[in-house]
Structure formats: structure tokens, C-alpha cells
Amino acid sequence: MISEKDPAPFISVVMPCLNEEESIGACIEKIKQSFSELNIVGEVVVCDNGSTDRSAVIASALGAHVVLEMKRGYGHAYQTGFREARGQFLVMADADDTYDLTQLNRFLEKLKQGYDFLTGSRYLDPNSKKNIKFSHRILGNPLLTKFLNYFFGLKYTDVYCGYRAFSRTAYDKIAPVSSGMEFNLELAINASKAI
């Protein structure tokens, strides 16, 4: 529960959630560990997208600010989560524990240097690749990334990566409206135009 007396967080980590009770706790604990190690005031915002398991209960018990978005869709959940987030900087991350949430410092260093939009990549770190299905390492996302890079003049290595960070100002300029998984693509394309 957030009160008016709570200090405004420097950074908000926003996670959409749909039946992630097996992993959401580990994600929140890693994020809070990062906040502590970085000595920053941060918040975790979990946008529950209609879970039928204990995801929301677990997240709330661990101190996350849990909000509900009953319109199904990855994009809907993120839009609601970002609307509720109070941080100067925003980080998006999935609640399935596939991203290294102890590495928030790498985003934070760049944000403090003045970067407005950062994206992770599962294809640069050999250890990250083990979490990606073999077919997705060759087809799918890599092909889509090359396609978008070519047609929009971008330089992504993982256009569908769900681990990104940006300033509140940048997010407002990008102004994403997509309701589903295309939310990630909209962020990637619009960031190059808006920032």
C-alpha cells in the first residue's frame, strides 16, 4: 500500500503478470536486492492481468504495488503498470524470471549518463541463449530483428526483448498504445522516432 508520505521512487520496475506464482517471488526479491545494493529508492509495480493463481498475493506480500488490468494483453498490462508507476526512470521486465534482474545497475549507469531508452538483449550473452528455444535462436525473433533493422534503420540485436529501461519523459514521448505482444515492437520502432 502506498501512502502520500512514501518518498517518490527513483526507479520503478514494472512487470505484467498472468499466473506467475512460481517465479514472481524470485523476481521481486532480486529487484529489491538490486535496490539495496544500489542504495536507491525504488518500487516494484506488478500489473496482474487476471491471474487465477496466487501471483498477486505473493507479489503484495513481498511489498510490490499490485494493480489490476482485466483487459487481457501484454500491452494493456504494461500501459496500466506504467501509469501507476511513480519513478523518474522506468524498467520493464517479465515476471517469469528469464531476465537477470540483479543487473539493474547496468541500466541505471546509462540512465544516469543521460541515455533515454535502453534495451536488453538475450543474444549477446552466451549464458542468456540457453533460455531461448533453439528455433527462436535462429528463426523468429532474429529474422524479425533483421527485418525491422533494415526497414527502419535500427540497430537492435533483440527487438523483442522484454527487459528495457527508459526515462519517464521518453516513455511519454513514445506513447505506446498496442494492447498485445506488439507493444515491444512499438516501443522499439517509436523510440527511434521520438527520442
> In order of start, what are the domains of the chain with their CATH numbers?
11-120+161-194 (3.90.550.10), 127-159 (no CATH)
Q: Specify whether the backbone of 70 is left (phi greater than 0), alpha (psi in -120 to 50) or beta.
A: alpha
What does the pLDDT look like over 67-96, one tens digit per residue?
999 999 999 999 999 999 999 999 999 999
What does the alpha-carbon distance between residue 15 and residue 66 come to, in Å, rounded to a whole number? 10
List the single range of 36-45, 59-68, 132-141 with lowest mean pLDDT. Answer: 132-141
Q: For residue 161, how many C-alpha atoms fall within 13 Å in the half-sphere facing its CB?
A: 24
The answer on pLDDT for 1 being more than 60 is no
Q: What is the pLDDT of residue 8?
A: 86
Q: What is the pLDDT of residue 7?
A: 76
Q: Within a 10 A sphere around the Cβ of 131, how many other Cβ atoms?
A: 12
What does the pLDDT look like over 137-176, one tens digit per residue?
555 666 777 777 677 777 877 777 889 999 999 999 999 9
List the single range of 50-59, 94-103, 143-152, 186-195 with lowest mean pLDDT. Answer: 143-152
What does the alpha-carbon distance between residue 100 and residue 119 come to, in Å, rounded to a whole number? 13
Closest alpha carbon to 140 in 163, 162, 156, 159 = 159
pLDDT band at 135 (very low <50, low <70, confident <90, very high): low
The answer on pLDDT for 33 being more than 90 is yes
